[in-house]
Structure 1
Amino acid sequence: MREQIVHSTARITMDADQRFEYLVLTVAPGERVADARMRLSEHAEYGKWELTRSVHLYGGTRKFWMRRRVMRVRSTLYPAE
């Protein structure tokens, strides 16, 4: 199973997708679906990821897109002057 994290860009726009970071899980055709399901549930429970999209491709490969909200906070250590 292969994992790839796709980070959102640093610039802030009005587009809603900029508020999320994405994780793409790719499951090879020979791997068990139960293992993939276990990995997805671990990411959802411990990493606060939510399943956005899943695709079953022609060769038997499965792809899962997961996303989580990016929290942008302003530093309070050095006040703006």
Structure 2
Amino acid sequence: MIGYSETPLAWGLTRGMARVLGVNLAAAVVEGWLSRKELGHLVDRCEACSQKAACSAWLATAAGGPCPPVFCPNKSALEVLSLRH
């Protein structure tokens, strides 16, 4: 199981943003097109973000929206991952 028990909210938000783009982060690591270290950087950026409440609200209504919101610190990285997927 891939997860971040020390930062469960950041892990959940990062995973949620990736899902909006059709990216399964755990599968990406298992399949080898995303390293565990790269995934850790995504979660760390999310953990440092001050927009967690806005992110949660956005995810609650996104329903497969076209891209993460502009305030997401992982926006560009997740968009690149969606192209690789």
Same fold (TM over 0.5): no
| More helix per residue | 2
Q: Answer with 1 or 2: which has the greater Rg.
A: 1
Give TM-score, length-normalised by structure 2: 0.27
